[in-house]
Amino acid sequence: AALLGISSVVFSARKSIWVYPTGIFSTAIYVYLLFGWGLYGDTLINAYYFVMSIYGWYMWSKIDENSQHLPVTRTTRKEKIYAVFIFTASIFLVLFVYHFKPYIQSGFDANVLANLPKPFSWLNGENIPFEMRIQYVDTLTTALFFVGMWLMARKKLENWTYWIVGDLIAIPMYLFRGYGITALQYFIFLIPAIIGYFAWRKDVVKRK
């Protein structure tokens, strides 16, 4: 699944339609594994990637009246508004999932629900477990990746900005949590993302 995910990023940087078949298989495997492990929040995230991969495959395969495939373009004002909406909705959705994660993983135990901390209670000085604080940062990266995935499906140059910023946040976050292999994976993702940005930007400039 990890190798397919890396391959998907490389194909995307090259504007290859294979970004989506590899992405679909990768996310399908992750959904199966994560659901089996009881990681429902991560399952939801990868389910979104799975759906967006199908949408992106459809968009990239479309041919217009001039027999041309979807070109690389910049984000329109309307799309920027949609991006803000997706980002904000993603923040609240993932925060909701993470907040109730212990309750879900307990099999919906009422005692666990009663002992859940209030959302953002750490802002009031309450002692919140470190892992839960990290999840707020994880929520930010997830929202960035959600927007990036949507913009990539529409072949917008700015999708790479979201992926790059998300990767730059994810690398130290996973290192801090002691997940060196995962941090390395995001570093590997970062390289083709940077290459992809300049390759797609060159394509946009050329079209002008």
* Residue pLDDT, tens place only, 99-119: 787 777 777 888 888 887 776
Per-residue pLDDT tens digits for 33-58: 877 776 666 777 788 989 999 999 99
Residue 199 in this model has a pLDDT that exceeds 90: yes
Domain membership flag for residue 181: yes
Arithmetic mean of pLDDT, 171-196: 87
How many separate domains does the chain show? 1
Select the more confidently predicted residue: 99 or 29.
29
Domain of residue 112 covers: 2-63+73-207
Q: How far is CA 143 from CA 12, 68, 186, in A?
A: 20, 32, 16
Domain membership flag for residue 68: no
Question: Which residue, among 203, 88, 84, has the nearest Cα to 151 in the 3D structure?
Answer: 84
Q: How far is CA 17 from CA 9, 29, 47, 153, 171, in A?
A: 11, 20, 20, 11, 27
Q: With beta carbons less than 8 A apart as the criterion, state whether 117 and 61 touch.
A: no
Q: What is the pTM of this model?
A: 0.84
Domain membership flag for residue 24: yes
Chain mean position to CA 72: 20
Q: Which residues pair with 73 in a beta bridge?
A: 156
| 3-state SS class at 39 | coil
